[in-house]
Structure 1
């Protein structure tokens, strides 16, 4: 749901300003190309080492660079935002990702069947191809929020390799309306582990997307199985892609496609888990939730992970202005800040005791020790009340 944010006070329009990250954004667009080079090397040499470079970059190098390079809290001058958003360079950076993603997927599928890889190599191939297709959901996310019909169609195409086309429907019309509430399947609750969140969000998002499309089509006098159903359109793209690959490479490719798709989808969902963990919009006197504000999203300004994720970590501004392009997203001081970029928190989120130890106290501090203001996982309230009570005593 759109919101009104307390943006920084407007400054006099500068006569000159240059985006210092203008060419660094190519790290996002070219990322699948770098992974594709690794796949070529693995196919040429037969060495599985090359297939484990991408997870090494994702889980180790990017967090390390985030630590070394620190944060960037600068915002573009508001007077220059229209020109910044109209600059086609940033759209080209976004579009470069798409052919490289599909090239990697096709080559990876061939290598899975004909590459003679052992289990170590196949596992590396899954995390390389699935990792890029998971990151591609963020590219689809950026395209899917835009007004141009061709960008929205391209968003669904980008989701085809990861078989998560319903994300286009649920994220835009479900998550943005229900974010930071118990009703949102993509908002993690305080005390909820990632492994409890994962099946809840996967099934809940699928169910919600279908319901949203069924209601939309009913209002237009159509049934849910009508060809205009955007879920069916997106899933048809996946079916055509997978069927084409099976026709080319045989049924042996299908397990690889399904496993890499699951890995990519869970990569999206672990980021969802991080983005709104424990945060809750309060109800007003009329019983309705307050409008989404900066304090309802965890943010990070760590440089390197933001460059690889099209500023996804400036999540508060995105929820306030979904159509605002990535290069113009702003930092807000009132938004709660993560201790690291997303890349540095992925492995932590997989280990619930580490995650709870790192993040629960931050939720506690954000709400001044008032558990009733947080989005709490039912069944965990008693334990959390005891823990928070001890925290107040200290």
Structure 2
């Protein structure tokens, strides 16, 4: 029972944020205040590499559905608060940042879990729940593109070595939109329809945004629309920022099998719960239909710090490179990569101006110096 109960942590945080928006005043800080609280606890608590003992799909998915459906509720209550409570500029700013943060986590993991489901209703709700971060077309590109191309130069969600967070986010937002538009247009053309006919998912995505903002306007007026839209834009960029840490620097030969090693896992006690195991997703790349509660932590993987610690460090590229990702990649190249992958890794290191931590030019690797992260 405890394994089921603890995943209600995510909707619980959302409900507290909603109450804070409803009460107004300084309570609007609850949403953004959850971020440092969770970050600190996740970094201090011991890692959680336990396998879950959950059998009931219904009870396991109930908090996922709650977290997804609470996304628009958060926006609507904040919009009402803007229109009815006498919020200061600082309190409105806190609400904007809190909405953005909660749209990304638990918003992204919850909607991601639903649109990877086999059920049509779950996929529909997962797709349009992403209106909270302006990305209702992401489902196909993620499922078809990322899950096929992960670790290769073709994957827009895999950051190559030397690419800092800021450049990656700007590129990824632009590239994901381009791929989303083209993928659906190509499919329509193959079926004999116009590339941007009314059947294109772009028009449904825009309709979802218009309807969403119309409700916000009805609740809080134009000020609420502006504030909520600002949250959605910020969230959209933060979504790509989180992608940055999941596969950074890893390489895979195009066409080669995807293996558990082609992903970074983060086993923070709270982040596993709060993000519905999206930080424990090696198995997810082997079979994208596996529900979150059946994902088994890879105990042979390189142990990474809390995903929130990684997220914060990325804003200072030198800190991210030198304290976290270079030591991890050195181990990955020397202990996990195939000979062909080591050649790709060496070339990326060269292009990034990084160290060449291989002792042979034929792909054989030396054993790394005192590893920073221990095996699980």
TM over 0.5: same fold? yes
- Checking the alignment, whether the CA contact within 8 Å between 1:297 and 1:336 is kept in structure 2 is no
What is residue 332 of structure 1 aligned with on the other side? 298
**1:302 Cα offset (Å):** 1.8
Q: CA separation in 1, counterparts of 2:276 and 2:265? A: 13
Counterpart residue number, 1:73: 49
2:82 to 112, 118, 127: 112
CA distance in structure 1 between the partners assigned to 2:201 and 2:140 by the alignment:
7
Alignment of 1:240-319 (within 5 A): 240-282=211-253, 288-319=254-285
Unaligned runs of 5+ in 1: 1-18, 283-287
Structure 2 equivalent of residue 132 of structure 1: 102
Moved over 4 A (4+): 375-378, 386-389
Structure 2 residue runs of 5 or longer lacking an equivalent are 336-340, 360-365, 370-376
Structure 1 residues 67 and 218, CA, compared in 2 at 3 Å: closer, same or farther? same
Which SS does the other structure have where 2:6 is aligned? coil
TM-score when scaled to structure 2?
Answer: 0.86
- The alignment covers a number of residue pairs equal to 356
1:176 maps onto 2:147 in alignment: yes
1:375, CA displacement in angstroms? 8.9
Offset of 1:134 from its aligned partner?
A: 1.9
Contact 1:162 1:262 in 2 (8 A): yes
TM-score when normalising by structure 1: 0.82
User: Distance in 1 between the 2:166 and 2:290 partners?
Assistant: 32
* Aligned match for 1:37, one of 4, 16, 19: 19
Aligned counterparts of 2:126 and 2:346: Cα–Cα separation in 1: 31
Answer with 367-376 or 174-183: which moved more.
367-376
Relative contact order, higher structure (CA 8 A, sep 6+): 1
Q: Is the 8 A contact 2:22 2:81 kept in 1?
A: no
* One of 51, 56, 59 as aligned partner of 1:89: 59
Matched, 1:211 2:177: no
| 1:371 to partner: Cα distance | 6.2
From 193, 200, 208, the counterpart of 2:164: 193
Find the aligned partners of 2:240 and 2:346 in 1 and give their Cα distance: 18
User: Take 1:162 and 1:114, find their aligned partners in 2: how far apart are those partners?
Assistant: 25
Conservation of the 8 A alpha-carbon contact between 2:79 and 2:219:
no
Q: Choose from 24, 28, 32 the match for 1:51.
A: 28
What whole-Å deviation, never above 9, does each CA across 1:74-130 have from its counterpart, x for those lacking one? Answer: 2257xxx7xx2x531112111122342222111112333554433322221111112
**In structure 2, the residue corresponding to 1:90 is in which secondary structure?**
helix
Q: Is the 8 A contact 1:71 1:302 kept in 2?
A: yes
What displacement does 1:292 show?
Answer: 1.2
Match of 1:361 in 2: 327
Report deviation, 1:242.
1.2
Alpha carbons 1:66, 1:304 under 8 Å: kept: yes
